[in-house]
Amino acid sequence: MNKTTYQKAWFFVLPVVALVAFNALIPLMTVVNYSVQETFGDNVFFWEGVKWFEDVLNSERFHASLLRQLMFTGIILAIEIPLGVAIALTMPKKGPWVSVCLVFMAMPLLIPWNVVGAMWNIFALPDIGLLGHAINGMGIEYNFTRQPFAAWFTTVLMDVWHWTSLVVLLAYAGLRSIPEDYYQAAKIDGAKPWAVFLHIQLPKMKRVLTIAILLRFMDSFMIYTEPFVLTGGGPGNSTTFLSIDLVKVALGQFDLGPAAAMSLIYFLIVLLVCWVFYTLMMKDEDQ
Amino acid sequence: MSKITLKNLRHSYLSNPQSDDDWALKEMSVEWSDGGAYALLGPSGCGKTTLLNIISGLLTPTEGEVWFGDVEVSHLPADKRNIAQVFQFPVVYDTMTVYNNLAFPLRNRDVNESEIDWKVREIAAMLDLSDTLKKRASGLTADGKQKISLGRGLVRADVNAILFDEPLTVIDPHLKWILRSKLKELHQQIGNTMIYVTHDQTEALTFADQVVVMQEGEVVQIGTPVELFERPQHTFVGHFIGSPGMNVLACELDQGRPVYGGSAVETTGTVAVEDPSARLEIGIRPEFISFADQGIAVSVEKVSDAGRVNIVETRHGDDIIKLLVPDGGHVPSENAFLKFDPDHTQVYANAWMVS
Amino acid sequence: MKKISAVPIIYILFLMLPIYWLVNMSFKTTNEILGTFSLWPQEFTVANYVKIFTDSTWYTGYFNSLTYVGLNTVISVSVALPAAYAFSRFRFLGDKHLFFWLLTNRMAPPAVFALPFFQLYSAIELFDTPLAVALAHCLFNIPLAVWILEGFMSGVPKELDETAYVDGYPFWRFFIRIFLPTIAAGIGVACFFAFMFSWVELLLAKTLTSVAAKPIAATMTRTASTAGYELGLLAAAGTLTIIPGAFVIYFVRNYIAKGFALGRV
């Protein structure tokens, strides 16, 4: 669309800028401020330079939680994206079932995150939970509060349960926007279902899938509440992801400096990945 | 290649059609000979796309049969019918090159690569696409994409018919003419049966040898462009084809001869209408009316210049009668008399022509 | 009705299982939960729900949650409307950078902001009020609302604005009387997502409240940790938090697909 240049449009965005800046810039300045200082309470601060950043980047604890975070995000992306697309492909195209499917599938998205954690806790407990009871009933020993593997399995399953619907809804919307003519032409051209998927559906879903991957990357990278309520980061530190570790450092130990430095590094990683991804996507679209 | 026969075809999108209005396509039987160029002409929603989809196999008709030559194909799926179709909005496979787009239908049918290559290059040359074979299809303009859609039909050796569903809708006006001539040229070159759906009379009349005019799910006339113009079987055809359309005037019958506005109108013979309550009308095209010293008394209301002719609007009672007068011809200023050409004046009962 | 493939049905069953288990638990007595394993309540009881509706620490939690979610939705969408209009219609100094900067806030991990938020809102004496949570949630909800609304507004031809000016409409009257009704679906979608993300977020909501404005979800966490193992009560409270979301989805179900179709979430 042709836009007119109109500098007074700034007045339209002023309330938004003011509110977001208030919420983003002041806390961010606080974090930056802490990240270069040391305090022993009573508002007494000492200049520390980049010491905290060096400490965090060299600490094995940070490496471990970053690695866990990357593994977790990688696993859930590898499951949720293909699964979501597969489910979207089998959804009915019209009729009363569409609303039924949409309403039920969207439900997990609207449950408060700690309730999701609590619900899965109850669901997966080995003695009183349906899932835990069933798995143990099959003769497999399963207790997510004691076995790291079981804890991972439960956390991943919970995330798949929680967020696959978002991918389904996005992919479904992308599929619905493909004109019927494409399917008809493919039929006449004698295309097999696999070819239809590869040459019509997948290319047309590219945009929404990019958004789905970005959103799932961002949100899974920031995940805190659900695993915190489910496993508390344990057993041991086996499910301590970045956010959980950060809150432990900041609020648990009140190590403001390292926590702030860690926050900034963390934020920069998310920004960097999103930026790279975004640029690649735009470049591809220009071709 | 073979002739296409539609036998007692009827279609409804409802599972349990009750009244006449529930049928998107009312009963019809049509025969199209091999290698002809046909147009399906009618306003939006008249059922022409439904009919086209039944022929291509994208829809299964509720009743009736579709025959290609000696084979009944009513229940065959689209890919088994050897039909090609070009849609209103260009369909290309975005991720493929132009070459791969054209090769796609052949690869799906397991044709060997050397034959594909030969065929693709032949068709690309025919459609002036040779220079763009290596480009991504998504980068082409709308007319280029439509050519690809067409090309995907042409590469197949076994095609029974090529169907067009308003293929020029998204093409720029100055390219429409070029693409239309290209189609005509291709038809003469390869001799496939082509069926062309449109709501534009110019496209239909210039493309087709035979035009099928449809209205509200019904075929109202099949004929050559000249027949449609000179002897419309239905007042709808008279209205829809020609610019301005045919004058349709309520009349009475007196011993088999029409009477309009109190005076007898000359025609080429007498007509007999059995149903006494039928709505009677005479139809006469503006091209076949002229001013005269006596005849039907009218007042001249408006003259508009349409290039080589003037369109004159006259009034008789509540009726508006239009006629064409050649540029420079005399137009009376106020009151005048009209003469209808007896050879081209038809009588219609309940909108259908009686002879 | 047309036949439906088995895959979505299996998937929906999978989604419903944990929810069923939660609801199942909420109707059991504590003894039954801890003592036996049963697929449905043997001694059906609504005592857990009665307790929630009669104990003020519980039901005020609901009230608090709904208050800040509602406040946040109203604030986010109403300030996002003019901004989205500016982004969709005008070019101005720094517009693209501003838009990108807004979106980066959607990427900020709430954990990063928890502590500074606590200090910030304590300093301006809003700590432990619903308004504090509502304002804090603006951090990610305003960028989202601007993004969604901008998408819908770009779909409205500029000729609509021009026609209105030619007809002599003052700008604000045009905006409220003509433009807003045109993008009603977009406003619906924006409200839905603002509601959704404010309703499900807890880290900031918990950090910014202590007693007076405590959200329901936080009350649950406290119960789980301090009052021992009152699983039935926990399950009942959890079940009740699902209900507002289910209502909202039901009302906007036709808009959701449309909002997603624009690729704006």
- Give the pLDDT confidence of B276-297 residue by residue, as tens digits: 788 889 999 999 998 888 888 8
Average pLDDT on B137-162 reads 86
Report which of residues A50 and B113 the model is more confident about: B113
What subunits make at least 3 CB pairs under 8 angstroms with B?
A: A
Q: CA-to-CA distance for B50 and B24, rounded, in angstroms?
A: 8
Mean of pLDDT values over A116-132: 87
pLDDT band at C258 (very low <50, low <70, confident <90, very high): low
DSSP H or E stretch at residue B65:
strand B63-68
For A219, residues 6+ apart whose C-beta sits below 8 A from its C-beta are A163
The per-residue pLDDT for B334 is: 81
Predicted confidence band of residue B2 (pLDDT cuts 50, 70, 90):
confident
- Structural domains of chain B, with CATH: 4-235 (3.40.50.300), 243-354 (2.40.50.140)
The arithmetic mean of pLDDT across residues C90-115, rounded, is 81
Question: Does residue A249 register a pLDDT over 70?
Answer: yes
Do A101 and A200 share a domain, yes or no? Answer: yes
Same domain for A235 and A108: yes
Which of C26, C101, C115, C240 to probe by mutation at the A interface, max A CB count within 10 Å?
C115
SS3 B244: coil
Cβ distance B66 to B54 under 8 Å?
yes
Closest-approach residue (CA) in chain B for A189: B105
Same domain assignment for residues C67 and C168: yes
C105-144 burial, b for 16+ CB within 10 Å, e for fewer?
Answer: bbbbbbbbbbbbbbebbeeeebbbbbbbbbbbbbbbbbbb
Confidence tier at A285 by pLDDT (50, 70, 90): low
Q: Which residue of A has its CA nearest to B151?
A: A189
Q: Give pLDDT, residue C224.
A: 55
DSSP state of B42: -
B95/A187 touch (CB, cutoff 8 Å), yes or no: no
> Is A31 in the same domain as A72?
no
Q: What is the pLDDT of residues C13-46, one digit of tens each?
A: 999 999 999 898 888 887 777 777 778 888 888 8
Question: Cβ distance A261 to A56 under 8 Å?
Answer: yes
pLDDT at B109 over 70: yes
Q: Name residue, tokens 């699902």.
A: C242
pLDDT bucket at A39, cuts 50 / 70 / 90: low
Grade residue C265 by pLDDT with cuts at 50, 70 and 90. Answer: very low
**Contact between C21 and A123 using a beta-carbon 8 Å cutoff:** yes
- Is the predicted pLDDT of residue A205 greater than 90, yes or no? no
pTM above 0.95, yes or no: no
CATH code at position C173: 1.10.3720.10
Q: What does A85-142 look like in DSSP terms, one character per residue?
A: HHHHHHS-SSSHHHHHHHHHHHGGGGS-HHHHHHHHHHHH-TTT-HHHHHHHHTT---
Identify which has the larger pLDDT, C152 or C81.
C81
Nearest CA among C77, B63, B19 for reference residue A15: C77
Q: Which domain holds residue C20?
A: 1-45
> Does residue C21 share a domain with residue C86?
no
Distance CA C181, CA C196 (A): 23
Query: Distance, in angstroms, between C28 CA and closest chain A CA?
Result: 12
d(CA A150, CA A125): 11
Q: Do C81 and C175 reside in the same domain of the chain? A: yes
In Å, how far from its chain's centre is CA C16?
21
In a domain, A248, yes or no: no
Nearest CA in chain C to A226: C202
Shared domain check, A173 and A51: no
A41 with A97, same domain: the answer is: no
- Same domain (yes/no): C119, C2: no
Inform me whether the pLDDT recorded for C73 exceeds 90.
yes
CB contact under 8 A, A6 and C106: no
Q: By percentage, how much of chain C surpasses pLDDT 90?
A: 17
| Cα end-to-end span (Å), chain A | 20
Q: How many domains does chain C have?
A: 2
Q: How far apart are CA B36 and CA B13, in angstroms?
A: 29
Give the C-alpha separation, B185 to B190, whole Å. 9
Nearest to A266 among C87, C112, C241 (CB): C112
Q: Which residue has the tokens 């982004």?
A: C87
> Are A270 and A217 in the same domain?
no
**Interfacial C residues in 116-135 facing A (CB < 8 Å):** 116-117, 119-120, 135
Nearest by Cα to C113 from A13, A56, A36, A34: A34
Query: How many structural domains comprise chain A?
Result: 2
Indicate if C133 and C215 belong to the same structural domain.
Answer: yes
Considering the domain boundaries, does residue A145 fall inside one?
yes
Which DSSP letter does residue B82 get?
Answer: T
CA distance linking residue A247 with residue C199, whole number of Å: 21
Query: Does residue B76 sit in helix, strand or coil?
Result: coil
CA C29, C35, C40, C44 torsion-angle sign: negative
Could you list the residue range(s) of the whole structural domain that residue A228 is in? 67-241
Q: Do C220 and A114 touch (CB under 8 A)?
A: yes
Instruction: Please indicate, yes or no, whether residues C93 and C1 belong to a single structural domain of this protein.
Output: no
Computed over its alpha carbons, how large is the radius of gyration of chain A?
23
Distance spanning both ends of chain B, measured CA to CA: 37
Copy the structure tokens of residue C249: 């989805």
Taking contacts as CB-CB distances below 8 angstroms, the residues of chain C near A250 are 111, 114-115
Are both C202 and C248 inside the same structural domain?
Answer: yes
Comparing CB atoms, the residue among B88, B95, B105 nearest residue A190 is B105
Residue contact B85–A188, C-beta within 8 A: yes
Q: Where would I find the beta strands (DSSP E) of B210-295?
A: 210-215, 218-223, 247-250, 252-254, 257-260, 263-264, 280-284, 289-292
- If you average pLDDT over residues A16-37, what whole number do you get? 85
Dist. CA C38–CA C28, nearest whole Å: 10
Name every residue whose Cβ is closer than 8 Å to that of residue A170 and which is 6 or more positions away in sequence.
Answer: A84, A208, A209, A211, A212, C260, C263, C265
Q: Quote the pLDDT of residue B73.
A: 87
pLDDT at C153: 87
Residues linked to residue B222 through DSSP beta bridges, in sequence order:
B212
Calpha distance C238→B101 (Å, rounded): 54
Residues of chain B contacting A, Cβ within 8 Å: 53, 56, 58, 77-79, 83-85, 87-89, 91, 93-96, 104-105, 108-109, 136, 149, 152-153
Q: How many CB atoms lie within 10 A of CB A101?
A: 25
Instruction: Compare C147 and A49 and report the one with higher pLDDT.
Output: C147
Between C261 and C80, residue with greater pLDDT: C80
Same domain, C41 and C143: no
Same domain, A230 and A279: no
* Whether C221 and C158 share a structural domain: yes
- Judge if C126 and C201 occupy the same domain: yes
Q: In whole angstroms, how large is the CA radius of gyration of chain C?
A: 22
Same structural domain, A85 and A221:
yes
Residues 6+ apart with CB under 8 A from C136: A23, C113, C117, C121, C204, C205, C208
A74 and A44 belong to one structural domain: no
Better-predicted residue by pLDDT, A279 or C140:
C140
Taking an 8 Å cut-off on Cβ atoms, the answer to whether B95 and A195 are in contact is no
Residues A92 and A174 in one domain: yes
B93 neighbourhood in chain A, CB within 8 Å = 199-200, 203
Domain annotation covers residue A189: yes
Q: Does B touch C (3+ CB pairs < 8 Å)?
A: no
One domain for residues A163 and A119: yes
Q: How confident is the model at residue C259 (pLDDT cuts 50, 70, 90)?
A: low
Whether residue A246 lies inside any domain: the answer is no
Residues C230 and C114 in one domain: yes
Q: What is the DSSP letter of C174?
A: I
Which chains sit next to C, with 3 or more Cβ pairs under 8 A?
Answer: A
A53 occurs within a structural domain:
yes
Reported as a single tens digit per residue, the pLDDT across A163-188 is 999 899 888 888 887 888 899 889 88
Burial class (CB in 10 A: 0-12, 13-18, 19+), B131: exposed
pLDDT in tens, B23-45: 888 888 888 888 889 999 988 88
Cβ contacts of C45 within 8 Å, gap of 6 or more = C27, C28, C29, C232
Residue A172: which residues within 8 A CB-CB, separation 6 or more?
A: A88, A91, C257, C260
Q: Which residues contact C246 (CB under 8 A, 6 or more apart)?
A: A103, A107, A110
CB pairs A-B closer than 8 Å: 55
Q: Which residues of A touch B152 (CB under 8 A)?
A: 185, 189
Same domain, A153 and A175: yes
Mean pLDDT of A101-116: 88
Q: What is the average pLDDT across C203-210?
A: 85
DSSP string, B273-302: ---TT--EEEEE-GGGEEEESSSEEEEEEE
**Do residues C28 and C101 share a domain?**
no
Q: Where are the beta strands (DSSP E) in chain A?
A: 4-5, 37-39, 45-47
Q: How many Cα atoms occupy the beta-carbon half-sphere of B176 within 13 Å?
A: 15
User: Residues A23, C101: contact at Cβ < 8 Å?
Assistant: no
- How is residue B278 written in tokens? 């039928």
pLDDT at A156: 95
Give residue C142's pLDDT.
Answer: 92
Phi–psi pair at B298, nearest 5 degrees: -140, 165
A132-140 — which CB contacts under 8 Å span 24+ positions?
A133/C37
Q: Taking the alpha carbons of C88, C94, C100, C103 in that order, is the dihedral positive or negative?
A: negative
Q: What's the CATH code of the domain at A224?
A: 1.10.3720.10
| Neighbors of chain A with 3 or more C-beta pairs under 8 Å | B, C
How large is the average pLDDT for residues A41-54? 70
pLDDT score recorded for residue B302:
87
The ipTM, to two decimals, is 0.85
* Residue appearing with tokens 């590469």: B155
Is the pLDDT reported for residue C1 higher than 60? no
Please report which helix (H) or strand (E) contains residue B161, including its range: strand B161-165
pLDDT-derived band at C261, boundaries 50, 70, 90: low
